[in-house]
Amino acid sequence: MTEVIATNQTILVVGGGISGLTAALEAAETGKQVVLVEKRPFVGGRITQLYKYFPKLCFPTCGLEINQRRAKMNPNLTIISMAEVTEVQGEAGDYSATIKISPRYVNENCTGCGDCTRAVEAEFDNEFNYGLGGMSKRKGAYLPHKMAHPQRYVLDPRIIGTEDADKAKAACKVNAIDLEMQEETLTFKAGAIVWATGWRPYDANKIQPYGYDRFANVITNVEFERMADPQGPTGGKLLRPSDGKEAKHVAFIQCAGSRDHNHLLHCSRICCMATLKQTHFVQDAWGDDGKSTIYYIDIRAIDRFEDFYTRVKNNPNVSFIKSKVASITENSENGNPVLHGVDVESYNRDGNGGYDRYATEYDLVVLAVGMEPSVDKGTFPVDISINEEGFIEPAPENGGVFAAGCASDALDVNRAVQQATGAALRAIQVVNRVAGTEGQ
Amino acid sequence: MADEKKFAGYICTGCGIGERLDAGQLETIATRDGKMQSCRQHEMLCSKEGVQTIRDDIANEGVTHIMIAACSRRAKVEAFNFTEVAMSRANLREGVIWVRPDTDENRETTQEMADDYIRMACAEVKFMTQPTGSGEQELNKQILVVGGGITGMTAALETAAAGYPVHIVEKSGVLGGHAGGYYKSIPTRSPYAEPQDTGISQMIADVEANDSITVHLNSTLARTEGAPGRFNAEIATESGSSETLSFGAIIQATGFKLYDPSALPQYAYDKSADVVTNEELEGLVMQADGGPIKRPSDGKAVESVAFVQNVGQNSTEENELPYHSGIGDMIAIKQAMYFKELNGNCDTTILFDNLRTPGAAGEDFYRAGQQKMITFSKGAVTEVVPGSTLEVKFKDLILNDDATMQCDLVVLDVGMMPNTGPDPYAQLAVEEAEDEAEKEKARALLENAPPSILNLEYRQGTDLPHLKYGFTDSHFICFPYETRRTGIYAAGPTRRPMDMRQAADDAAGAAMKAIQAAENAGKGRAAHPRSGDLSFPSFRKEGCTQCKRCTVECPFGAINEDEKRYPIFNEARCRRCGTCMGACPVRVISFENYSVDTVGQQIKNVEVPEEWDEKPRILVLACENDAYPALDQSAMNGVEITQWARVVPVRCLGSISLSWITDSLNNGYDGIVLMGCQKGEDYQCHFVKGSEMGLERMSKVGDTLQTLNLEPERVASYEVAITDIQRAPKLINDMAETVQNIGMSPFKF
């Protein structure tokens, strides 16, 4: 059984992505008791699935290593993974939270040795690689990624009751596999709550004219990130899903499902920079043979990052077309996606005015899908003020619940961390007030 | 006896260690060579029972130093967390058995590898002391906020709300900053459709009414000295009086100034009173006092207005800004709405290039603007012609046509520039210049520098270092508040262009870091990235040659000099990277848990076989933040590493003492591989300049090799990233190949 020692001076952080992890660590390192609840089997959230960050083109795991070291060493922080908050009652300074913990089938004896993975045969699509999961499967007993924290394996529930589960159990020398593990429900106290449930990529299937569900070579920006990662499904090679052909001519479609009444109303802020960054992946992979074309409405590089945009603009292998792509078809002979639409600034290419129609083929199309809040409106287990787009509003009526990171708006990592740090303070204010009345 | 040292070794035989290695031999090595007074084996040392065994020995046997031979120091950290004793870890799993093939012909060399790691860990722990803090720490909960604009006031209110007293030092005679002169602000709450009250008057009232906040108007910092927990700041008023107060931490919220469009004659800013900046427009609206906005030249109510966006921003031209404020379009929409509200049927046109209205708030506000019939036109303005009616010439970027429009007023979207002090490294450059010409150049750069804000009495200059374009930020991505001056946090537009809502959020974050810094300084705990480390550098004064390398090279400006140029270490400013230790040519600087000896003795205790054994030894000094985790991950992937390698994690490449290199070469090592993080503008070093300092020093190691008559390729330094899972082992294996090609070191004996 999982045990949690928590009081009205405890801070509950919901979500262990970069925002939640930051808020939890900042509060814990200020001496506060923190319980972090994360849905996935590991902390770090979506940044673990990114290959590089903009604007430094550095690696997310670099900062994650430091944050995880902070987490491992801090006795004030309790991390509960594979758990979700199902209910919150009470008010600022006196909350009662109920969480549901899914069975991992692996207990804390696990040393991370990997014997279970070697013993198990069943393979599944690797969700870590989003829709490209089928390109590199994972075993039914697995560590989600090489730096996963807690460094503890997971058994896929689909192998429970099969021979594989017994094989895994037999292979484990430290008695870490518990096939009888059940879902647990736990209720504990908290004085303040940091809500950091983050975002998910907008479902590209909903953008019907782009054929994400029909054309193998139309992928999303988060999938492209996995593709560029040497730890990803293609070993870091830009190979298109349909036939493994080298993807040298890549089109990026901005605002795919964003700034759009039919889809997401908001601008996700990060997608322009993400695409500008991803043109570097094409350039790095193929040199002058790699060509990137960006279809955009506005390029929003945002404040200091404009110089990054300027540098990409100066790359002769990257071109920009101001156009909302109307539809994508497929050339059935070679599997190339064909983009159709109207170039509203075609004079940039032909010197003449007017709106030119285009039908252009590429090896691969990357949809720059936006961020939507990962908790659906109306399903929040806590009474909280949500705006039309589904993000949490900075409202006094939220009491002792404070949004951090992308639960509050579409933010890049830098802003999410900044915002999460502030959220940690607001939670501390509440528990310090409780301490003031209860005594430390 | 409380201070008697007692050494104990623990060897884990789990995870295949027992099957692959002769644990009995490892135990013998730990006690015989490693001089552990006791040594136990356990089949799963990280289990509750295993850990309890260690705890019992600490409690009952008086063990003070423990050597754990098991997995990587990055694994099972929670289990092996004994805060009361000194501890070293021999990495037998990721470091040995996972990187060597399980075959008979490799058994001997694999065991030798493990034997050496036991010797190394024993030697390391012998020279370690469990750190306890310096005793110079103080808990001072009072926070200093510099700047009384929206950022500063928010920081003060948020800090006070957490129970910490605050002092605000504001240069001008009023609180409120820029926003104090604004009619309204961009909306901060859904539905993001109308400009809203700035809330500044209420905020000023809240600050003034708050018992925990003291405001010093017309005041500046004449002098700031000390460290987190014990900053002493002399607050000087315009009238000449001053007082010195103590603070735990400092928040710099000194805001911004606006770009002066006079530098761009095409906009006729100097020629026509009816061409104004966006901030000047706020003044016109305030003057209008609820009536129609009037143009400055003749007081006519404005009937048409053009907003010229992106003036002097996002440019590669000299004297223009290479970045963009990012908020100018939101301001233009807000201000166009002023005209819709106050000037009836006023024509409002926003001439933009890329419209920047990000997030949910941005797009909602943009749509609200469209609904209010604001005209958005994608156009690049080429000229504003002054006259009784202004003529704006622009290129229509959609139609690719030259176009003109007439209007009563032109509003220029000018960029925000940070209010920062002079870059300390520009100050240091003058001193560090090697000749007079270079010195002169460095001085010229400083001439246009702004006056100091913090007036820090720091060896490395008076203010926060700049990151880019004069902003005082420290880090673009993961750790946005970690400046290079511990305990001093920048917030608001002084560190990045931002609007009021972001500035308020930013202020809360900086307040968080400030109270954390104050609390940790009170306990002697290090700040990021070695959070919680209680060790601190100390030096042997009699050996010090007052060479100043440590005081100049510390990436955090933590070390001052006394009047005789001896270093003064400020524990609470130190980030424990060890760059000072690496810089010290006479090896007098050390930490209790990391020193020239803790690493040097590991190197010395590796058994170097005779030349004819043909078993080379390759020393790998790997940064613990990136290269070492990369090696751990390659071990998880089963990537082989040469059996000749002996890997020692270091805190930072900058902490590497040249003596380790010379000693290992003298001891007969055949090759040395150094792995640090990427340096330069897009640096990835967690200590910012540490790896750069280290790589710079190592570039001079050729002289040492020459003196010893050794081939230069025996020492190689690399920038290694945490993702170099394939490359990092390859670099080590390449050295093995190099040694094979050039032959063994002649220095074996």
Distance from CA of B92 to the nearest CA of A (A): 13
Give the DSSP H/E element, type plus range, for residue B23.
Answer: helix B23-32
Q: Which residues of chain A lie closer than 8 angstroms to B365, CB-CB?
A: none
User: CA triplet B413, B416, B420: central angle to 5 degrees?
Assistant: 165
The helix/strand/coil state of B287 is helix
In angstroms, the CA A341 to CA A339 distance is 7
Residue with tokens 């405001």, as numbered in its chain: B215
Across the interface, whether the CB atoms of B477 and A58 are under 8 A apart is answered: yes
- CB atoms under 10 Å from CB of B389, counted, come to 12
Q: Between A303, A344, A409, which is nearest B323 by CB?
A: A303
Q: Does B250 share its domain with B267? A: no
Dihedral sign from CA coordinates of B140, B146, B149, B152:
negative
Range of the domain at B292: 259-415
For A50-70, b where at least 16 C-beta lie within 10 A, e where not — what string? bbbbbbbbbbbbbbbbbbbbb
Dihedral sign from CA coordinates of A62, B359, A11, A153:
negative
Maximal CA-CA distance, chain A: 76
Contact (CB, 8 A) for B723 and B633: no
Beta bridge partners of B40: B10
Residue B196 lies in a domain: yes
Q: How confident is the model at residue B187 (pLDDT cuts 50, 70, 90)?
A: very high
Starting from the edge strand earliest in sequence, which strands make up the sheet with B671-676, in order? B645-650, B618-623, B671-676, B715-719
Q: How confident is the model at residue A216 (pLDDT cuts 50, 70, 90)?
A: very high
Q: Which residues of chain A lie closer than 8 angstroms to B196, CB-CB?
A: none
R_g (Cα) of chain B, nearest Å: 31
Strand B86-91 to B347-352 pairing:
unpaired
* Size of chain A in residues: 440
Question: The domain that contains B94 carries what CATH number?
Answer: 3.40.50
The helix/strand/coil state of B247 is strand
Distance from CA of B670 to the nearest CA of A (A): 31
- CB atoms under 10 Å from CB of B162, counted, come to 24
- Report the percentage of chain A scoring pLDDT > 90: 91
Across the interface, whether the CB atoms of B626 and A151 are under 8 A apart is answered: no
Nearest chain A residue to B15 by CA: give it: A113
Q: How many CB pairs under 8 A join A and B?
A: 249
Eight-state DSSP code of residue B97:
I
Best B82, B505, B633 member to test A by mutation, with max A CBs in 10 Å, is B505
Q: Does B9 share its domain with B121? A: yes
Q: Does B171 share its domain with B251? A: yes
Eight-state DSSP code of residue B233:
E
Across the interface, whether the CB atoms of A30 and B723 are under 8 A apart is answered: no
Contact (CB, 8 A) for A370 and A268: yes
Q: Which residues of chain B lie closer than 8 angstroms to A63, CB-CB?
A: 477-479
Across the interface, whether the CB atoms of A300 and B47 are under 8 A apart is answered: no
Residue B603 lies in a domain: no
Q: How confident is the model at residue B133 (pLDDT cuts 50, 70, 90)?
A: confident
Residue B318 lies in a domain: yes
Question: The domain that contains B344 carries what CATH number?
Answer: 3.50.50.60
- CB atoms under 10 Å from CB of B178, counted, come to 18
Eight-state DSSP code of residue A150:
S
Q: Does B292 share its domain with B409? A: yes
The single-letter code of the amino acid at B620 is V
In angstroms, the CA A230 to CA A59 distance is 12
Q: Extract the runs of DSSP E, i.e. beta strands, from B112-194.
A: 143-146, 166-169
Q: Which residues of chain B lie closer than 8 angstroms to A74, CB-CB?
A: 531-532
Structural domains for chain A: 10-101+183-198+374-438 (3.50.50.60), 115-171 (no CATH), 203-370 (3.50.50.60)
Nearest chain B residue to A255 by CA: give it: B358
Distance from CA of A324 to the nearest CA of B (A): 14
Residues 178-217 of A with CB under 8 A from B: none
Across the interface, whether the CB atoms of B528 and A57 are under 8 A apart is answered: no
Residue B586 lies in a domain: no
Q: How confident is the model at residue B3 (pLDDT cuts 50, 70, 90)?
A: low
Contact (CB, 8 A) for B13 and B26: no
In angstroms, the CA A428 to CA B162 distance is 6
The single-letter code of the amino acid at B357 is T
Q: Does B243 share its domain with B357? A: no
In angstroms, the CA B694 to CA B656 distance is 7
Per-residue pLDDT tens over the stretch B408-425: 999 999 999 999 999 998
Q: Between B163, B398, B498, which is nearest A345 by CB?
A: B398
Q: Does B50 share its domain with B178? A: no
Distance from CA of A295 to the nearest CA of B (A): 13
Residue B344 lies in a domain: yes
- Report the percentage of chain A scoring pLDDT > 70: 99
Residue B204 lies in a domain: yes
Across the interface, whether the CB atoms of A259 and B363 are under 8 A apart is answered: yes
**Can you tell me the mean pLDDT for A255-284?**
96
Q: Does B294 share its domain with B403? A: yes
Beta bridge partners of A251: A293, A365
* CA distance readout (Å), B66 to A123, B6, B34, B54, B709: 42, 8, 12, 9, 40
In angstroms, the CA B693 to CA B346 distance is 60
Per-residue pLDDT tens over the stretch B31-85: 999 999 999 999 999 999 999 999 999 999 999 999 999 999 999 999 999 989 9
Per-residue pLDDT tens over the stretch B231-280: 999 999 999 999 999 999 999 999 999 999 999 999 999 999 999 999 99
**Can you tell me the mean pLDDT for A181-196?**
97
Across the interface, whether the CB atoms of B401 and A265 are under 8 A apart is answered: no
pLDDT at B136 exceeding the cut of 80 = no
* CA distance readout (Å), B698 to A198, B548, B630, B748: 43, 19, 22, 23
Q: Which residues of chain B lie closer than 8 angstroms to A424, CB-CB?
A: 512
* CA distance readout (Å), B39 to A429, B5, B67, B264: 48, 15, 9, 77
In angstroms, the CA B43 to CA B13 distance is 5
Best B164, B210, B378, B516 member to test A by mutation, with max A CBs in 10 Å, is B516
Per-residue pLDDT tens over the stretch A36-89: 999 999 999 999 999 999 999 999 999 999 999 999 999 999 999 999 999 999
Residue with tokens 């390449």, as numbered in its chain: B734
Strand B416-418 to B304-311 pairing:
unpaired
The torsion angle over the Cα atoms of residues B109, B110, B113 and B119, rounded to 10 degrees, is -110
Residue B182 lies in a domain: yes
Per-residue pLDDT tens over the stretch A302-344: 778 888 999 999 999 999 999 999 999 999 999 999 999 999 8
Maximal CA-CA distance, chain B: 98
Across the interface, whether the CB atoms of A56 and B684 are under 8 A apart is answered: yes
Across the interface, whether the CB atoms of A303 and B497 are under 8 A apart is answered: yes
Q: Does B280 share its domain with B244? A: no
Across the interface, whether the CB atoms of B629 and A302 are under 8 A apart is answered: no
Across the interface, whether the CB atoms of A59 and B362 are under 8 A apart is answered: no
In angstroms, the CA B198 to CA B176 distance is 10
A312 and B CB contact within 8 Å: no
Across the interface, whether the CB atoms of A298 and B354 are under 8 A apart is answered: yes
| Residue-by-residue DSSP string for B677-743 | ---STT---TTTTHHHHHHHHHTTHHHHHHHTT--GGGEEEEE--TT-TTHHHHHHHHHHHHHHHH-
Q: Does B120 share its domain with B148? A: no
* CA distance readout (Å), B344 to A388, B258, B341, B405: 30, 30, 7, 20
Q: Among B399, B415, B431, give the residue marking a domain's end.
A: B415
Residue B135 lies in a domain: no
Best B143, B376, B512 member to test A by mutation, with max A CBs in 10 Å, is B512
Q: Does B747 share its domain with B616? A: yes
Across the interface, whether the CB atoms of B44 and A111 are under 8 A apart is answered: yes
Best B98, B365, B495, B722 member to test A by mutation, with max A CBs in 10 Å, is B722
Distance from CA of B463 to the nearest CA of A (A): 21
Q: What is the pLDDT of residue B1?
A: 40
Q: Between B360, B364, B477, which is nearest A410 by CB?
A: B360
Across the interface, whether the CB atoms of B358 and A269 are under 8 A apart is answered: yes
Nearest chain A residue to B636 by CA: give it: A146
Contact (CB, 8 A) for B628 and B728: no
Q: How many domains does chain B have?
A: 5
In angstroms, the CA B144 to CA B243 distance is 14
Dihedral sign from CA coordinates of A170, A174, A177, A182:
positive
User: CA triplet B355, B150, B153: central angle to 5 degrees?
Assistant: 155
In angstroms, the CA B627 to CA B647 distance is 11
Question: The domain that contains B548 carries what CATH number?
Answer: 3.30.70.20
Q: Does B355 share its domain with B462? A: no
- CB atoms under 10 Å from CB of B113, counted, come to 25
Q: Does B148 share its domain with B277? A: no
Q: What is the pLDDT of residue B398?
A: 87
Q: What is the pLDDT of residue B677?
A: 96
Q: Which residues of chain A lie closer than 8 angstroms to B515, CB-CB?
A: 30, 425, 428
Q: Among B130, B163, B183, give the residue marking a domain's end.
A: B130
